[in-house]
Structures are given as C-alpha cells and as structure tokens.
A and B are shown apart, each in its own frame.
Chain A
Amino acid sequence: MEDIIYNQLDYSILSWTVFLPVIGAALLLFIRNVSAVRWTALLFTIANFFVALPLLKHFDKSTYKMQFVEKSEWIPSWGINYFIGIDGISILFIFLTAILSILSVLVSWKSIEKKVKEFHIAILTLEAGMLGVFVALDFFLFYLFWEAMLIPMFLLIGVWGGQNRVYAAIKFFLYTLAGSVLMLVGIVVLYFTSGGTLDILALSSMQYPFQLQCWLFLAFFAAFAVKVPMFPVHTWLPDAHTEAPTAGSVILAGVLIKMGAYGFLRFSMPMFPDATKFFLGPVLILSIIAIVYGALVCFAQKDFKRLIAYSSVSHMGFITLGLFALNTQGVEGGILQMLNHGIITGAMFLMIGIIYERTHTRVIADYGGFARLVPWFAGFFIILTFASIGLPGTNGFIGEFLIIFGAFKARMIFGVLAATGIILGAGYMLWLYQRVFFQDANPDYEASGRHPVSDLNMREVITLIPLFVLVFWIGFYPNTFLEYMHASVEHLIQQMNLTAVAGNENMIAKYITEIF
C-alpha cells in the first residue's frame, strides 16, 4: 500500500505551480521595457498564486497521505523519479511562498532601479526553487531545488544588496553550502543503504540501525541547522538579512530559513526517529539558547534591520523548540509559527524597506518621533511589533502559546525557560518602537533637510494589507490553518512514537536518563 494519492485534477497542478515562474523568467529574457518587466513579473507571481489556489479547495484534510502526486520515471538507471506531492505540512508553505513572492515584486517597484530584468528573473527562479523544495518527494529532485535556490539568493544579495553585500553574499553561500555538502553525503549513504532508491517516502518508511541513524541525523542536521539558523551557526543571518535588498530579506526571512525547520519535519524526524530522540536534549537546549541569546543580542543592536534579523534567531529558536517537543501542540505550534514568522518578519522587512527608501538610513538613533511624521506607517508597525511579541489576537500568540504549551508538556523546564523569551521580546521590541516612533525627531536628522518623509502610499498599503489580514485571521481563527496539518502531524507523531528498531530503545533510555 502506497501512502500517496495521485493528482485527481485534469491538469498537473503542482507542476504548473512550480514551473510557472520559470516560464515567466524565461519570458522576461525577451522583454526590454523596464515597466513591462515589472508588470510581467507581477502578473506571473499573481497568476502563480491563483494556479495554486485550487490546492486549498481540493486538499483532503482527513489524511496524512501525499496528495496531488505526480510521478514519472526520470533517470531510471539510477532509480531517480520526477516525484512531487504535498501533505498537510507543506501545503501552507506553497501559499506563503506565493504570497511573499508577489509582495517582493511589489515592494521592489521603486527601490530596484538597476538591472531590473535580471532582478525579476532572480526572484522568479527563486520562487520556483522554493516551491520545488516543498513539493519534491525524490531526493535527487529535492537536492536540485535546494541548491538551485541558493544561486538567485546569492545574486540578490551580492548584486542588489547594501554596502557590505559581497561579504554577506559569500558568507551566506559558503555557510549554506558547507551544510548542504554534508546532507549530500547523507543522501548518498541513504541511496546505497536502501539498495538504490531516492524515493523520500520509501526511505522514510525504512528502518535503519541506530548507529547509522545517528550519523545520518548529524549529516542532515548540519544542513538544516545552518538554514534555520540555530545557535551557534547563525551569524550568516544578520549579515545576509541586513545587506539583502528588501525583497531578498523578505524571502530570506519569510521562506528560506523555514526550509531548515521543514527539513527536520520531512526528513530527520520520520527517517531517524531513534536518533532524533537520542539528540533531543542537545537540540532543545540549543533552541533555548537561541531564544534567550537571540533576544539579548537585540538589545545591543544599533541598526534597525539588523535588530529584526537577530530577532529571527530568537523566533526560530521557538520554532525548533516546538518541533522537537515531539507532541501535537508543539509540532503544530512550530509549523504555524513558521508561517507566522514568515508573515510578521516578512512584513517588518517590507516596512523597513519602505521607510529606508525615504530616509536612507537604518541607524536607529537617526530616527525618533516618526509616529507624528508617518502616522499610518507607525500604526501598521505597532501591529507587527505586538504580533512579534505574541499578543493575543495576533498570529504570534497562537504559535508561541502552542509551542510553549508543547514544550511545557514535554519537559516543564523548557516551557518555563522559553517563556522568558516573551519578556525579553517585549523589552527589545518596545524599546525599538520607542526609539523610532516616539519622542522628538532626532535633531541631526531634522537638520539634514530630508524632511518631510511621506507616509505610506496606495501601492505600499496594498502590499502590506494581505499580511495584516493574515496576522488577525490566524490570531482569531487559527483553525483554518491548523486543520490542514492535523492528520499529517498526528501521523508524524505516531511514527516517532513507534521506536523503529528493536534494541535502540534501551540505548536511548540510558542516554536520556544520563542527561536529565
């Protein structure tokens, strides 16, 4: 019995979703007019969203099985298939990617003026790569997409980034590549152990000896931990986020860093359940360190964008904590928080980009009194501030609460420690808000004659609105989103609980009692 449901629609919906941006990118090659380039890119990203939309309607929420599956032989001699499909864990990320891609094009309308065509080609190929990662069910295909994302992102930072862009781009590339290489080794090992298949589902249902699990877990962990990023391999993130152009930061924070957490869910946990339990303690401790450490670093930041970048380290710590709590609430909270973080931090980077276009400074001390200068902007930003610190009624609350609940349930002390992150979060975010928006404007800034800055315009409001709708939608009625995950998460937890290989249990139990 195979755990898949083939695509029932009369067209290949997932293939269209993934490759439509590629078609768009190819089309852009032939367009010269800058404005036409922008419109074409916008059209394709929007079209992509609508092409994917029937997925939501036809998705069967009652099963954990892969749906809308397309499978055909690709390189039969190596057992490689073109094999794609989605389940309750990946479906929401398809839409997160699609929405953030649209917004990335919109927010770059005025701010990107050099190499406009190339910029949009990069955005569209990046979108395809990200979507590919979420749908791939064959390791070869997966790895292809995984690495393919790197190139456009590298270019986005290196070509359209800020002053220190080349350093940041290379750092981002090397960091990620170093992790990915180990994953590649892991994939090769899996290929040979399994007797020559790269089918992710088949590999997930196999059982591996404990030692092998541990080594493979570590190999994959290297790739995913860098992507998340977890402490202490997080230092590429502040540089990359800060130097990237707005669209790049939005996609980085919104989708790219979710890939690591997604990898844990899709590969590490179902394939190496014993190793996951074995390494649980260290992973949870690293998550807690990330939460507290990431928050504390924020207090010392002088750069607006860098502060938000570091806050991602803290928030991603929450996410890995939730996932590795290994219970329904923790995992669902973690997945939801991945979505939430994409929405909130994505929107924050959009807004920072918007204000940067006007002030040309990211130094917090240059700001002050902006609530009076740009009241609508300030109003939008305060909503994000409170969503970020998990105020009930916003999406941040639902995610953080479920995560802390899950962690508390798994091991009380982790829930308690994680909750301290909520106090710290309120501290640095409100302090940031005060310095930027309250009190009087910085006299130096006023003297520089760059006043008055204009408030949000219609295009910018339209760019932001979808994300704000989601902030409150998830805050007040998260079930719309949670419903998609229930079956898949339940299945994952079950898989985890059936300790796969006899004899491994004792080793794990012994190890765990030694740690705690």
Chain B
Amino acid sequence: MLKYTLIPLLPFLSFLINILFGRNFIKDRAHWIAVPAVVGSFLLAVSAFLDVAGGRDINVNIYSWIVSGSFNVSVGFLIDRLSAIMLIVVTSISTLIFIYSIGYMHGDGGYYRFFAYLSLFVFSMLILVMANNFLLMYFGWEAVGLCSYFLIGYWFHKKSAADAGKKAFIVNRFGDFGFGLGVILIFLTFGSMDYMQVFGEAGGIAGQTINLLGYDVNLITLICLLLFCGAVGKSAQVPLHVWLPDAMEGPTPVSALIHAATMVTAGVFMVARCNPLFNLSEVAMNTVAIVGGVTAIFAATIALVQTDIKRVIAYSTVSQLGYMFLALGVGAYSAAIFHLYTHAYFKALLFLGSGSVIHALHDEQNMQKMGGLKKYMPVTYWVFILATLSITGIPFFSGFFSKDEILWRAYLAGDLGKFLWFLGTLAALLTAFYSWRLIYLTFHGKFRGTHEQEEHLHESPPVITVPLMLLAVGAVAAGWVGIPPIFAEHGDKIGEFLAPVLGYPEGEGTHAQEYFVMGASIFVAVAGWIIAYTMYLKKTELPQKLGAAFQPVYKLLFNKYYIDELYSKTIVQPTLKASDKIILGFDTYIIEGIVNGIPNLIGAFSRKLRKIQTGLLSDYGLIMAIGALSIIGVWIFLR
C-alpha cells in the first residue's frame, strides 16, 4: 500500500518545484504543476477510501524517525475510516480551491509563491490526517501552522497582513505548548506514540493519578486536557480564537481552504481521533463540550454586527467549530465529523463566493459599501443563497442534517447536554440572522459603492464560477449521507461508516422528542431569517435605531468583547515592557555593572598605588628602610 504515500508526496513535489523554479522559470504557469498534483492526490484518496470501505485499513511504518534510548518514533501512516473521510474532504476541496485560485490570483506578482505555499499546506494537512502516531501528527500540526503563517502574510508589504500572520503563529504556539507536553506525557505513560498501542492500553491506566505540583491529578484527564489545548488554538476556540478573524488578511482562497474547510478543523479531527482517551475522562469531555458550546454562541454574537464580509464569515466559522466541539464533548464523535464534512463545503462556498464579490469590487470588503449585487452577479448570488440555506439549517440542505444531529445528541446527554442544546439552538437563531443579514446587505437593496466600481461590476469568469457551482452541489447534497433514522432506516450512512472507529453514540429518545428538537431548530432558522429580512430589507432604519438604543452592547460586540485589547494589555505589552525595562536593565546595569565594576575597582586601586612610584631616590630609600625595619620587627616579634 506504499502507493498511498504519494497522497501527501505529490503536493510536496509541487511545492518543491514551484518554490525552487517558480520565480525564474515557471512564474504564472505554477498551476500547471500544482493542480495535477492535487488532482492526483484526490484520485489516490478516492482509491484509498474504497480500499478502506472494503474493510482493508492501512497501517504502515515507513521509516524510523527518531531513536534515542527507549524513545522510538516512526514515520508511518494510518488510513482507517476516519482518515479516509478526512482525505476525501481535504483533497476534494483543495482541488476546487486550486482551480478557483487560477482565476482569483491571476496577475498577482507572487503567483508561483501562492501555489507553492498552498501545495505545502495540502502536504502538511495530509500528513496530519494520515499520521499513525502522535509525533507525526504534531509534525503536520505545526507544518499547517507554518503554511497558515505564510499565506496569511502573503501580502507581506501590508503591516496588517504581516501582523496577522505572526499573531496566528504565536497564538497557536500557546495551544501547542499544551499539545506538545501532552504528546510527551503520552509517551511517558504508554511507552509509545503509536495510536493503536496507546488506544489499546488506554483502558489499563484509567483512574491512575499523577502528582502535579502537590496535587493528585487523573493521568488521562491531564493528557486529554493538554491535547485539547492544542485543539483550542488550532480550531480557534475561546479563549484562543483571536487569531482567526485576523487571518482573513490572507487571500480569499486561503481563507476558504485553510481557515474554514480544513486546517481549523484539525482540532476536531484530533479529538475524534483520540476518542478512546477522551471517553475515559468525564472532566475532559465536559470541558470540550462547554468550550464548544460557549464558543458557538460567543462568536455568533460578534458576527451579528461586523461589517467586513469576510470577518462575518470568519466568526461564523469559529461558531460552527464550536458546534463540532460541543458534539465531541457529548460523545457524538461521528456527528462532529459529519458537521466538519458538510461545513467544509458550505463554508468554503461562502468564502469563495465572498471572494468573487470582493474581486468584482476591486478589493472592497465592507458590506456597507456593497448592495444590489444580485443583478450583476447572478451565479455568485445563487450559490450564496444555497450556502446560506445550508448553514442556517433549512431542511434538506446539508447543514440541516449535521447540525440537527449535533443538537439532538446534545439534548440526549443529560442536564449539561440540555443546557448546551439550548445554547446551540440559540446560536442557530443568531446564525440565521447574521447569514441573511450578509445576503441582504451584499446582494439586495441599492449599490452603495462608488460610481466607478459600479461601472466595472461583472460576474466572475468560469474558472471562478465553476468551482462555486461544484461546491454548491456539496453544500446542498453532502448532508444526504446522514439522514436521521426516523426518516429513513440506515439513513445515517456516515455515522454507521464511522462507527468502528468512533463508536455509535448511545442514548435513545422518543420520536416526539426528536421531532421537538428538530422543530425547534427549524423554527429558529426561519425566525432568524425573518428578523434579518425585516431589518435589512423592509425597515432599513431599524438597525441604526437598535444600535443607538443599545449603544453599550453594540460597542461591546463590535469591538469583539475587547479580547484583543485585553491580551495586549495583559500579555503582549507586559512582556515587551519587562524585556525592555527589567530584563535589559538587569543585564546592562546589574550584571554588566559587576563585570565592569571589578576591573574599575582594580584600576582605581592601582591608580592609588601608583602614587608610591614617585621616582625620587629619597622616597624609595625611606620605603626600603621602613620595609627592612618591619621585617626585622616581625622576625623579632615571632621569635
């Protein structure tokens, strides 16, 4: 099965060729290398998927990576049902976005560089997904972060872009700090990093404790929470969500691929992968669920008032990722992966659609300067509508099935679950509102941009619209593999497919309860839609009035709860200040003071001593006499 190592290697080759020869030789032909490579990966991924579906999991070690004493880690791949689905999601969306980028990045000075980074990203993401041990996953984990850094800061001459790239990397390092320690603790506990061995032995150490700063802590809980730190960073959950909205500084295809469909879902994938560990720790599970639920509602409230089209979608992403963690936390792993999969399509579509809009408006991202684009950009408009129907959970679109599954599983999961279900349903109301708000502000009403912009308004070329239409198919139909059993027996194909890896969630409710949960989510989806319709199409003066009436709330939301300011005041500024004032001062004045002080002291002493050397014979005679007398005196005294 060594041919499947080509799945990550093809994009890696594309990266090497483009980065080495792109600048001088390949230039704007970079896609001729990148696109075939990613298509190749996609085809191989399909083949791997079919193998796995046929019951043949693949688990091979390629070579021994690090050996040091008892420490031994290999580079090896595991393709089972979970990674097979991820492979399909990653490579299929990558393919569409690569094609889209041909049109979107056309004429950009760094065209070859863009495709090189994008290829490197796909390679890294595939390593992350295919790894068969924690350290190799960590490799992919850090490498996607690297690509994210490159691509967010792609237009590096802009300070905001350079800042955002740096911020993304450093914020993620906070999460990876925990993740890395978790990986180390896993090895020290199990003597291996290999998934199969670790998961196989996990049950045996349940209940063991470890002494941490004087407290006895459950070992598995500690491992899970450390791993989860990494997920919080990478998947932009509260409180490490701050980097993702800023990441929108990157080109739009990047936002779609990395910061919506694939990389940010790595945290979800990781927790799902580690389900045998998380299952053993209730504390860890509840933490995951609460963080997810809180993030879902928290990010949705911010999205309500943002005016930058990409930032609205970014906060929406944070919120949707929250749903996935909520699902993981209540043990509905397959529901989380299901939502990951449907979300990848409709969210990529939303981003690429907004890219099409931004492109048409020559880099305008403020929705208040848009409006009425419907008649100029019909394809973009209609795919946007389909994606919105999907994300807001209108029945029979993808998002409906996956979101409903999550809410239903939460509802069944005890008191905490009921509370989270309530949060999730409330967040769904907000989702519907801000999603339709985006549509109305952008596509309906009158055009509010400059006259010059209006003259150049046009639909995007086919290289952009065709990928949009293909993604729209996914946004509509991807969810049909997970139809709830009350509608069709064995309708939940994806859940059953994943059951061998992720288990099938327990808990049965009555049909009445299930219809109630479903009804509630349909109700809020429609309600949010109607509110947005009223506020942004019918009574357009209402948003202004509401904003004025609830000024403090509006400002709080518009400024994203001032979290960035908080971090700046409590972490960034103090570090820089400590560095500049305290540490550097200590180095310059205290240590250097002592170091330079000793020679100065000796110098001063010898300057004094020098005065004896007067050059006068009489002085020397006197000193010799005193010396001789002293010696004699001492000699007599001692005798």
Q: Is A328 a contact of B162 with CB atoms below 8 Å?
A: no
Q: Is A438 a contact of B157 with CB atoms below 8 Å?
A: yes
Q: Is A439 a contact of B156 with CB atoms below 8 Å?
A: yes
Q: List the B side residues contacting A366 at CB < 8 Å.
A: none
Q: Is A415 a contact of B139 with CB atoms below 8 Å?
A: no
Q: List the A side residues contacting B599 at CB < 8 Å.
A: 174
Q: Is B71 a contact of A329 with CB atoms below 8 Å?
A: yes
Q: Is B591 a contact of A427 with CB atoms below 8 Å?
A: no
Bound Cα distance A250, B64 (Å): 32
Main secondary structure of the interface of B (DSSP, over half): helix
Q: Which residue of B lies closest to A297 (CB)?
A: B583
A78 contacts the other chain (Cβ, under 8 Å)? Answer: no
Q: Is A371 a contact of B184 with CB atoms below 8 Å?
A: no
Bound Cα distance A251, B605 (Å): 37
A186 contacts the other chain (Cβ, under 8 Å)? Answer: no
Q: Is A439 a contact of B177 with CB atoms below 8 Å?
A: no
Bound Cα distance A440, B169 (Å): 21
Bound Cα distance A420, B176 (Å): 10
Q: List the B side residues contacting A401 at CB < 8 Å.
A: 66, 135, 180
Q: Is A402 a contact of B68 with CB atoms below 8 Å?
A: yes
Q: Of A333, A409, A477, which contacts B188 at CB under 8 A? A: A409
How far is the CB of A289 from the nearest CB of chain B, in Å? 11
How far is the CB of B122 from the nearest CB of chain A, in Å? 15
Q: Is B142 a contact of A392 with CB atoms below 8 Å?
A: yes
Q: Is B162 a contact of A329 with CB atoms below 8 Å?
A: no
Q: Which bucket holds chain B's interface residue count?
A: 35 or more
Q: Of A298, A300, A329, which contacts B69 at CB under 8 A? A: A329
Q: Is A299 a contact of B576 with CB atoms below 8 Å?
A: yes
How far is the CB of B300 from the nearest CB of chain A, in Å? 30
Q: Is A478 a contact of B66 with CB atoms below 8 Å?
A: yes
A50 contacts the other chain (Cβ, under 8 Å)? Answer: no
Q: Is A300 a contact of B580 with CB atoms below 8 Å?
A: yes
Q: Is B578 a contact of A296 with CB atoms below 8 Å?
A: yes
B609 contacts the other chain (Cβ, under 8 Å)? Answer: no
**Residue from A232, A296, A397, A420 whose CB has the most chain B CB atoms within 10 Å:** A296
Bound Cα distance A50, B583 (Å): 45
Interface residues in A296-324 (C-beta closer than 8 Å to B): 296-300
The 0/1 profile, CB within 8 Å of A marked 1, for residues 206-229 of chain B is 000000110000000000000000
Q: List the A side residues contacting B65 at CB < 8 Å.
A: 476-479
Q: Is B142 a contact of A300 with CB atoms below 8 Å?
A: no
Q: Of B71, B162, B583, which contacts A434 at CB under 8 A? A: B162
How far is the CB of A220 from the nearest CB of chain B, in Å? 21
Beyond A300-B583, A375-B23, is A427–B181 a contact (Cβ under 8 Å)? Answer: no
Q: Of B69, B138, B177, B579, which contacts A296 at CB under 8 A? A: B579
Q: Of A232, A402, A427, which contacts B575 at CB under 8 A? A: A427
Q: List the A side residues contacting B579 at CB < 8 Å.
A: 296-300
Q: Is A293 a contact of B583 with CB atoms below 8 Å?
A: yes
The 0/1 profile, CB within 8 Å of B marked 1, for residues 471-513 of chain A is 0000011110011001001100000000000000000000000
How far is the CB of A303 from the nearest CB of chain B, in Å? 12
Q: Is B156 a contact of A328 with CB atoms below 8 Å?
A: no
Q: List the A side residues contacting B212 at CB < 8 Å.
A: 412
Q: Is A440 a contact of B157 with CB atoms below 8 Å?
A: yes
Q: Is B71 a contact of A426 with CB atoms below 8 Å?
A: no
A119 contacts the other chain (Cβ, under 8 Å)? Answer: no
B67 contacts the other chain (Cβ, under 8 Å)? Answer: yes
How far is the CB of A210 from the nearest CB of chain B, in Å? 28
Q: Is B69 a contact of A332 with CB atoms below 8 Å?
A: yes
Q: Of B158, B166, B177, B583, which contacts A422 at CB under 8 A? A: B177
Q: Is A430 a contact of B71 with CB atoms below 8 Å?
A: no
Q: Of B23, B68, B158, B173, which contacts A426 at CB under 8 A? A: B173
Bound Cα distance A371, B575 (Å): 27
Q: Is B64 a contact of A423 with CB atoms below 8 Å?
A: no
Q: List the A side residues contacting B169 at CB < 8 Å.
A: 426, 430
B450 contacts the other chain (Cβ, under 8 Å)? Answer: no
Q: Which residue of A lies closest to B67 (CB)?
A: A479
Interface residues in A355-381 (C-beta closer than 8 Å to B): 369, 371-372, 375, 379
Beyond A235-B591, A235-B592, A404-B180, is A328–B69 a contact (Cβ under 8 Å)? Answer: yes
A262 contacts the other chain (Cβ, under 8 Å)? Answer: no
Beyond A392-B139, A409-B188, is A420–B177 a contact (Cβ under 8 Å)? Answer: yes
Q: List the B side residues contacting A175 at CB < 8 Å.
A: 595
Q: Is B146 a contact of A386 with CB atoms below 8 Å?
A: yes
Q: Is A430 a contact of B170 with CB atoms below 8 Å?
A: yes
Q: List the B side residues contacting A300 at CB < 8 Å.
A: 576, 579-580, 583-584
The 0/1 profile, CB within 8 Å of A marked 1, for residues 569-588 of chain B is 00000011011100110010
Bound Cα distance A431, B580 (Å): 15
Q: List the A side residues contacting B64 at CB < 8 Å.
A: 479
Q: Is B170 a contact of A426 with CB atoms below 8 Å?
A: yes
Bound Cα distance A358, B391 (Å): 55
Q: List the A side residues contacting B153 at CB < 8 Å.
A: 438
Beyond A235-B595, A386-B146, A408-B181, is A402–B71 a contact (Cβ under 8 Å)? Answer: yes
Q: List the A side residues contacting B170 at CB < 8 Å.
A: 423, 426-427, 430
Q: Is A404 a contact of B156 with CB atoms below 8 Å?
A: no
B561 contacts the other chain (Cβ, under 8 Å)? Answer: no
Q: Of A332, A391, A431, which contacts B68 at CB under 8 A? A: A332
Q: List the A side residues contacting B578 at CB < 8 Å.
A: 296
Q: List the B side residues contacting A420 at CB < 8 Å.
A: 177
B419 contacts the other chain (Cβ, under 8 Å)? Answer: no
How far is the CB of B225 from the nearest CB of chain A, in Å? 14
Q: Is B180 a contact of A296 with CB atoms below 8 Å?
A: no
Bound Cα distance A328, B66 (Å): 13
Q: List 29 A-B contacts (CB under 8 A).
A: A171-B595, A232-B591, A235-B592, A236-B595, A293-B583, A296-B583, A297-B579, A297-B587, A299-B575, A300-B579, A300-B580, A300-B584, A333-B68, A371-B156, A372-B157, A402-B68, A409-B188, A412-B212, A415-B181, A420-B177, A422-B173, A422-B176, A423-B170, A423-B177, A430-B149, A434-B163, A476-B65, A478-B66, A482-B67
Top 7 A-B pairs, shortest CB-CB distance: A328-B69, A299-B579, A392-B139, A438-B162, A438-B156, A300-B584, A300-B580
